[in-house]
């Protein structure tokens, strides 16, 4: 699209260049040596964006920490309160999975479902089963449409589907 825009802009001033020349010019403006290099780099991901982070609504900090940190093995990346006694906003991570947990009214909807890829569902289940939880005893659904799946519901009605994918 940038090459097409460049060609149109130049054509308006009676300067005509080929589409391939426009591609090369755009790639150099972006800091690449040629269009092939630029195309390979740009197709690897959309510049300026990252993976989305789901925001899950929580109502009780202690229950959230027990479930997400103690049971599922997430770690806190950061947390925020405007002042003591105000609602908590918490970012947690386990491996590549990042979740935000929020006590703020209007953040997230209780009952949200989050699909979380795992390399090996049995290994994941063995890991979390090593830590007990008073109301959970998850199992693996090996016939789930997306691959072997472990579905766990938190104390706030949010559902986490840890799914083993096969590329």
Could you tell me the domains of the chain? 2-43 (no CATH), 55-164 (3.10.180.10)
Measure the CA–CA gap between 125 and 128, rounded to whole angstroms: 5
115-147 burial, b at 16+ Cβ within 10 Å, e below that, comes to ebebeebeebbeebeeeeeeeeebebbeeeeee
For residue 152, give every residue at least 6 positions away whose Cβ sits within 8 Å of its Cβ, in sequence order, or none.
72, 136, 138, 159, 160, 162
Average pLDDT of the chain to the nearest whole number: 87
pLDDT digits (tens, 9 = 90+) for 90-130: 999 999 999 999 999 999 888 899 999 999 999 999 999 88
Q: Take residue 158 and report the two structure tokens written for it.
A: 């949010």
Average pLDDT over residues 20-36: 77
Average pLDDT over residues 79-100: 94
Asked whether the whole model's pTM tops 0.75, one would answer no
């Amino acid at each position: 699209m940038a090459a097409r825009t460049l060609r149109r802009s130049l054509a308006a001033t009676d300067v005509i260049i080929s589409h391939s020349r426009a591609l090369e010019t755009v790639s150099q403006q972006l800091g690449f040596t040629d269009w092939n290099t630029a195309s390979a780099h740009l197709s690897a991901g959309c510049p300026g964006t990252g993976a989305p982070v789901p925001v899950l609504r929580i109502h009780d900090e202690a229950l959230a920490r027990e479930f997400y940190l103690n049971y599922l093995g997430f770690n806190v990346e950061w947390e925020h309160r405007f002042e003591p006694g105000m609602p908590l906003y918490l970012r947690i991570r386990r491996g590549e999975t990042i979740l935000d947990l929020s006590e703020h009214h209007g953040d997230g909807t209780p009952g949200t479902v989050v699909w979380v890829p795992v390399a090996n569902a049995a290994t994941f289940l063995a890991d979390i089963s090593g830590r007990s939880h008073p109301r959970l005893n998850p199992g693996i659904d090996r016939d789930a449409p997306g691959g072997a799946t472990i579905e766990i519901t938190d104390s706030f009605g949010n559902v986490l589907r840890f799914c083993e994918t096969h590329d």
